[in-house]
Amino acid sequence: MRAFVFAALAAAATLAVHPATAAPTCQDRTGGAIKCGVPGAMPVGWTASPAAQFERRMHEGPDLSVEAQWSLIGLLVGLFGLIASMPKFDGWGAGDWGREEEDGED
């Protein structure tokens, strides 16, 4: 019962707060994100034409190559494999911990 009351109070406190709003973002003439109020920023809500956005995306540079994607996948598989091969350790058993200085001095 105590856990239910705590969970209900936590949910009520989470739902009662007012969400924070972020500052508006502006764009420059080519459609790139820029801080509002600086030279080159367009008014809030303005968006570049589809042609200008397409032109900007063409000059951004290539995405990851296929080789880079495969090497990234291999790195992640290796990392997760290393984590999966770690021995089980929960710390609750007496044999889980090593001998310390004060052990056996009863």
Q: Does residue 106 register a pLDDT over 70?
A: no
CB 34 within 8 A of CB 52: no
Q: Cα separation of 89 and 95, whole Å?
A: 10
pLDDT tens digits for range 47-95: 888 888 888 888 877 788 899 999 999 999 999 999 999 887 776 766 6
* List of residues 6+ apart from 41 with CB closer than 8 A: 26, 27, 28, 34, 35
Highest mean pLDDT: which of 14-23, 61-70, 72-81, 96-105?
72-81
State the chain's mean pLDDT as an integer.
84
Q: How far is CA 73 from its chain centroid?
A: 18
